[in-house]
Amino acid sequence: MANEASVARRVALTLVSDVLEAHRLLSEVLPKRLANLPVEDRARAQRLATVTLRVLDRSDRMLGPHLKKRPPARVMNLLRLGVAEICEEGAAPHGVVNAAVEIARSNRKTAGMAGLVNAVLRKVADESAKWTALPVPRLPKWLRKPLIDDYGKPVVEAIEAVQATSPPLDLTTKGEPRALADRLGGTLLPTGSVRLAAAGQVSALPGFASGDWWVQDAAAAIPAQVLAPHPGERVLDLCAAPGGKTMQLAASGAEVTAVDISPTRMARVAENLTRTGLTAELVTADALEFEGGPYDAILLDAPCTATGTIRRHPDLPHAKDGSDFPGLFTLQEHLIDRALGLLKPGGRLVYCTCSLLIDEGEEQLRDAKARHPGLVVDRSALERPGIDPGWISDEGGLRLRPDYWAERGGMDGFYIACLRRGG
């Protein structure tokens, strides 16, 4: 048993190092790192890495008083992993310390520091009661500052408080949400998603194999609801992978075409459609070069900074530095223009990004209206069950933030707007 846990810990250590040293996103490295692991070890390794990154600031505060100087990166990350297990997950200190020492000894570059690992983690375990009194981890300055400029410090602090906690799991179902919530012991959210506080292994949940539902954050399920496709309508899902919105659109009875540039990600869309028994035409292509239509309705989930998903992806602030953001802003402009060109006169376009940055939401909408005279913002499309009118911003878009529904576990940050092309 200890050896099995040690395997997951070793992989988790590698994943943390991928993010903190190589500045890679977990989504980029997980397929390779987890490929040869049993399902249980995959889940454990990914969870340990994610938790370690989520509480990194707190771990460093616990470790600081016991380190005269910062050890090599691999040793530091091993210590962080141990602190996260002991203090955040409540694992038995004895087993965690022994496993960490074993991992240190197994590598010739770190073997000489096994004693340090042993001593420091034992001291941390003795002081674990201090953990809950530590400050909420802050976002890095490169991201925190623009968010404070956009929302103010109190809002950013509320967002950080939600991001410091492990998020629940949200599901979208083809059937009746209330029935699914009752079946899984979940909570039915006001917008129709089903939320599970402690899901465990997703693939083992009732209804997964039969394709009754799919994993999709409650905020991410709203854009397709705003588009409100009708049976028989020709609907285009641009930048479709991994396919949650595609499945929502297909479940409505619309004739759906899903486009994404990544063959690997489109293969995942195909797998999800097969599992759920839904159908859509899948096209692997650059959205800017795609030819088709005209379409009755288009959903554009544009590539973005993903700054609204940090509660589920705590690796992002450590893997990114904001340098690639301006290129994404420009790409979003081009995608909006392209999508409008594929739309029928009088058709509707839902533009959305899983971002907290105003540049990827409110400003994009204002700029699109300036580029396209006659473009109409349809505020009425946002009048959906569970949507607080206070979430609708001045220019007519829907601004969702992680601190909304904080008492329920929060939601991803999103911006959603429905545009209608003049007839």
Which residues does the annotation mark as catalytic? 354
Instruction: State how far the Cα of 107 lies from the Cα of 168, in Å rounded to an integer.
Output: 36
Instruction: List Cβ<8 Å contacts ≥24 apart for 358-362.
Output: 358/150, 359/325, 359/329, 360/302, 360/304, 360/305, 360/328, 360/329, 360/332, 360/415, 361/397, 361/399, 361/415, 361/417, 362/393, 362/394, 362/395, 362/397, 362/399, 362/415
* Residue recorded with tokens 């105003």: 358
Ramachandran area for residue 192 (φ above 0: left; ψ -120 to 50: alpha; else beta): left
SS3 175: coil
- Closest to 396 (Cα-Cα) out of 412, 386, 381: 381
Burial of 256 (0-12, 13-18, 19+ CB in 10 A): buried
The two three-digit tokens of residue 75, written as one number = 């040793």
Would you call the peptide bond into 242 cis, given omega within 30 degrees of 0 as the criterion?
yes
Question: Strand 414-420 vs strand 398-400: parallel, antiparallel, or unpaired?
Answer: antiparallel
DSSP bridge partners of 202: none
The percent of the chain in helix, strand and coil, each rounded to the nearest 5, is: 50, 15, 35
Q: Which residues are CB-contacts of 19 (< 8 A; sequence separation ≥ 6)?
A: 25, 26, 49, 53, 315, 318, 319
Strand partners, 170: 195
Which residue in 220, 212, 201 sits closest to 309, CA to CA?
Answer: 220
| Token output for 420 | 């209608």
CA quadruple 257, 259, 262, 263: dihedral, nearest 10: 30
Alpha-carbon distance of 393 to 396, in angstroms, equals 6
Distances (CA, A) of 254 to 224, 249, 295: 12, 6, 11
What SS3 class is residue 237? Answer: strand
